[in-house]
Amino acid sequence: MNSRRNFIKKTSVVGTGIAMTPAFTYGIFEKGQNEKLNIGVIGVDDRGTGHLVNLLMRKDVNITAICDIDQGRIAIAKNKIAKAGGKAPKTFGSNTYDYRNLLELSDVDAVVIATPWLWHTRMTVDAMKAGKYAGVEVSAANTMEECWVS
Ligand SMILES: NC(=O)c1ccc[n+]([C@@H]2O[C@H](COP(=O)([O-])OP(=O)(O)OC[C@H]3O[C@@H](n4cnc5c(N)ncnc54)[C@H](O)[C@@H]3O)[C@@H](O)[C@H]2O)c1
């Protein structure tokens, strides 16, 4: 099984509240493999930036893209990535659906979604439809109707 599949196998992000240690939350690659997981972070205010900081401490992850409709938050996130020695990420957030352009990137394997509640289901379903592994903050869905969104 390749390392990306192991990432998901060992990851339990969705609906957990993401309050665990980074290693448990984001999974651990098999030792000896050099492949890095490329992650996009959608929503980089307090919570999303917290996830970003945890991810930046990992050697098995690249942050390849970030998205936020608040350009001030994008600037802060980019600064943290640069200070950690990371390559400048592609950035999105020109409108509330610009995250869908991030989801089209071939160099994004997985996304961490830390936007307000009412975006969670839509963004998570869109991410999975785009073939990306998706980790989402609580809550995953807010209504019974959202549980049937496709
Ligand atoms: N802050 C915490 O301690 C905490 C703890 C547990 C769970 N959570 C959950 O994490 C999520 C984020 O928390 P927060 O405190 O950072 O929230 P927040 O509302 O402060 O930040 C959300 C960010 O998402 C951005 N955003 C909103 N709509 C967007 C869109 N369509 N596209 C791109 N970006 C968009 C906003 O500009 C903002 O920067 C929430 O769902 C919250 O319930 C937060």
pLDDT tens track for 49-98:
999 999 999 999 999 999 999 999 999 999 999 999 999 999 999 999 99
Least Cα distance to 67 among 97, 38, 87 occurs for 97
Please state the rounded mean pLDDT for residues 14-37. 50
Pocket-forming residues, ligand 1, beta carbon under 6 Å: 17, 42-43, 45-48, 67-70, 73, 93, 96, 99, 114-117, 119, 137-138
Helix (H, G, I), strand (E, B) or coil at 45: coil
Antiparallel, parallel or unpaired: β 90-92 and 133-136: unpaired
Rounded to 5°, the CA angle 63-135-141 comes to 145
Q: What CATH code would you report for 3-148? A: 3.40.50.720
Distance between Cα 40 and ligand 1 center (Å): 15
Give the chain's radius of gyration (CA, Å). 14
Q: Domain map of the chain by residue range?
A: 3-148
Predicted pLDDT at 22:
41
- In ligand 1, which atom is closest to the CA atom of 49? 16
Is the per-residue pLDDT at 141 higher than 80?
yes
pLDDT at 139: 87
Q: Residue whose CA is closest, atom 31 of ligand 1?
A: 96
CA of 7 to the centre of ligand 1 (A): 24
Residue 134 DSSP SS3: strand
139 upstream amide cis, omega within 30 of 0:
yes
The residue whose CA is least distant from atom 6 of ligand 1 is 17
